[in-house]
Amino acid sequence: MAQYLILIYEDESSYINPSPEVWQQAMEAHGRFAEQVVAAGGKIINGNALQPTATATSIRNDVVTDGPFAETKEALGGYYLVEAKDLDQALTFGKLCPAPFGGVEVRPIMEM
Amino acid sequence: MNVHDVRQVIADAHRREWAFVLAATARVAGDLDLAEECVQDAYVAALDAWVRQGVPDNPGAWLTTAARNRALDAHRRDKTLRGKLPLLIEPPPPEPNEDDPPEIPDDRLRLVFTCCHPALGREAQVALTLRLVCGLTTSEIAQAFLVSESTMAARVTRAKKKISAAHIAYREPDAAELPDRLDAVLTVVHLLFTTGHGQLRSDLADRAIDLGRVLATLMPDEGEVRGLLALMLLTDARRATRTDASGRLLLLDEQDRTQWNRAAIEEGGALVVEAIRGGRPGRFTLQAAIAALHDEAPSYELTDWPQIWQLYGRLQRVWPTPVVALNRVVAFAMVQGPAAALAEIDLLEREGRLEGYHYLPATKADLLRRLDRRDEAAAAYRQAIEWCDNEPERAFLTARLTATLA
């Protein structure tokens, strides 16, 4: 088994002041995702949603600045660390991962 | 047998057996770089051994055994060798049993599908396929794609690293994945063929046809595999007449049809029939069917243009690209005349998806020329020359422009 990080990039304006329905739908979609990964023989090691990039603070050469590292339309908004048997399975999980306002990136974890 | 003859046998074995030997060795080596090294060593060792002892009955089996033994030796000698670029192999290789050597499995499809994995970029897929499946050197691949050797070496290394770091499994896709995965493989093989064909490099086109034959043997039930092989054979059948003695490109209506390769046309034609009989023809089969109608026609004028036009319509439904739409217009012009076809060209121009594609103005120029609208034809030829990306075709278009102005 190998570990992969699924990075969720979405247009965060879609989540600013979400209606209760949008929020409810997102929670349900992520709940379903967790069930599907387990059903497919994978494992979610952990996962979290992040506060929007407006809350980010960047540090470069000890200089602290307000804001994310790079300003992009679609920003990192959450992640899952999963275990899969190979890239194909990890990509299957990536396809199942909810990201209605963007997409996901799947990165293998470096084994030390 | 003398050294010269043995070298010839080894060159043949390199071309015919490389993929089988490497694919079988990769499973034992568990590492693509180690597998390549062992296979190269086996070919070197073969020269010496075969000069002394004669060529074995089955050179491929000899080479495979030699390469696999080298891989096993390397593991015994140095456990750390494993882990350079480890391959994820499923199921794990059985323990080798010296007394009862198991039959060597044909792993070529694993190798092909790994090289053409969708997580690799198209350029990387092409480079890896040529390197690992066809056994070409990095310098040969660099020449074929007109990039420097260091660029190509970096591309191959990066692709191999991704295979191991991201755990791309060394396996064949399952039934659900097959359609998409197969399409990637066929696209890569077709790209090799068109690259060779476009540059008038027959060696590359031959490699692609060889690969097509291997795939057709290994996946006999896949219609599109046959369709692709047929398409390559039927296109390649006109190889001898594509240019004149001075290297000028010749159009279909200028080519000497008696020089076309009849054996290739027959083989390709039979494959098309089989592929279509399988039902639901895909883009390669439909293109092959069109190529077959051209090849079998006694002359350009006596070609079955209505059927070609109809086939392009079917092709457009399974593969809706602007290039297919343009080719359909060319056939339409032969059925309905250049004036009707010009209206269709205008539609394509307005759509704008063929901006920069030189065949669009070249086709338009040809239609205008046939209508004797010379000034407009010349302007279209000039646009085509500006957009054209290769010398033989630019020379062709320039000659057409000159003739139009005369």
Give domain limits for chain B.
Answer: 3-87, 220-246+254-294
Residue-number span of the structural domain to which A26 is assigned = 2-108
* Plot region of B88 (φ>0 → left; ψ -120 to 50 → alpha; else → beta): beta
Q: Name which of A85, A87, A110 is nearest B119 (Cβ-Cβ).
A: A87
Nearest to B42 by CA among B56, B15, B60: B60
- B402 vs A16, higher pLDDT: B402
Confidence (pLDDT) at A23: 86
Check B166 against A87: CB less than 8 A apart. Answer: yes
Check A108 against B166: CB less than 8 A apart. Answer: yes
Q: How far apart are CA B207 and CA B270, in angstroms?
A: 21
Structure tokens at B104: 């060597």
Q: How confident is the model at residue B102 (pLDDT cuts 50, 70, 90)?
A: low
Tell me which residue has tokens 């000159």: B402
Q: How far apart are CA B119 and CA A89, in angstroms?
A: 12
CATH number for the domain that contains residue A13? 3.30.70.1060
Write the DSSP symbol of residue B116.
T
Structure tokens at B372: 């004797």
Confidence (pLDDT) at B263: 97
Structure tokens at A64: 């602290």
pLDDT in tens, B341-383: 999 999 989 988 888 899 999 999 999 999 999 999 999 999 9
Residue B166 to chain A, least CA–CA distance (Å): 5
Instruction: From the options 1.10.1740, 1.10.3470, 1.20.58, 1.25.40, give the CATH code of B3-87.
Output: 1.10.1740
Q: How far apart are CA A42 and CA A91, in angstroms?
A: 12
B169 CB near a chain A CB, below 8 Å?
A: yes
pLDDT in tens, B292-320: 999 999 999 999 999 999 999 999 999 99
Residues in B closer than 8 angstroms to A86, CB to CB, are 88, 90, 167-169
Residues in A closer than 8 angstroms to B177, CB to CB, are 88
The residue of A87, A105, A106 whose CB has the most chain B CBs within 10 angstroms, and thus the best one to mutate to test that interface, is A87
Check A88 against B165: CB less than 8 A apart. Answer: no
Beta carbons within 8 Å of B93's beta carbon, 6+ residues apart:
B27, B28, B30
Q: How far apart are CA B303 and CA B130, in angstroms?
A: 36
Q: How many domains does chain A divide into? A: 1
Average pLDDT over residues B312-340: 93
Cis peptide before B91 (omega within 30 of 0): yes
Q: How far apart are CA B197 and CA B248, in angstroms?
A: 14
Beta carbons within 8 Å of B219's beta carbon, 6+ residues apart:
B109, B182, B225
Q: How far apart are CA B373 and CA B338, in angstroms?
A: 11
B161 CB near a chain A CB, below 8 Å?
A: no
Write the DSSP symbol of residue A70.
S
Structure tokens at B33: 């770089």
Q: How confident is the model at residue B248 (pLDDT cuts 50, 70, 90)?
A: confident
Residue A19 to chain B, least CA–CA distance (Å): 36
Question: How far does CA B136 lie from the centroid of its chain?
Answer: 14
B88 CB near a chain A CB, below 8 Å?
A: yes
* β-pair partners for A80: A6, A47
Tell me which residue has tokens 């949603």: A49
pLDDT at B95 over 70: no
Beta carbons within 8 Å of B143's beta carbon, 6+ residues apart:
none
Secondary structure (DSSP) of B277-322: HTSS--HHHHHHHHHHHHHH-SSSTTS-HHHHHHHHHHHHHHS--H
Average pLDDT over residues A22-48: 94
pLDDT in tens, B104-141: 778 999 999 999 999 999 999 999 999 999 999 999 89
Question: ipTM of this predicted complex?
Answer: 0.86
Question: Under a CB-based contact definition with an 8 Å cutoff, are residues A76 and A9 in contact?
Answer: yes
The CA-to-CA distance between both ends of chain A, in Å, stands at: 14
pLDDT in tens, B226-242: 999 999 999 999 999 98
Check A86 against B119: CB less than 8 A apart. Answer: no
Q: How far apart are CA B19 and CA B181, in angstroms?
A: 19
pLDDT in tens, B175-225: 888 988 999 999 999 999 998 887 767 788 999 999 999 999 999 999 999
Q: How far apart are CA B8 and CA B361, in angstroms?
A: 48
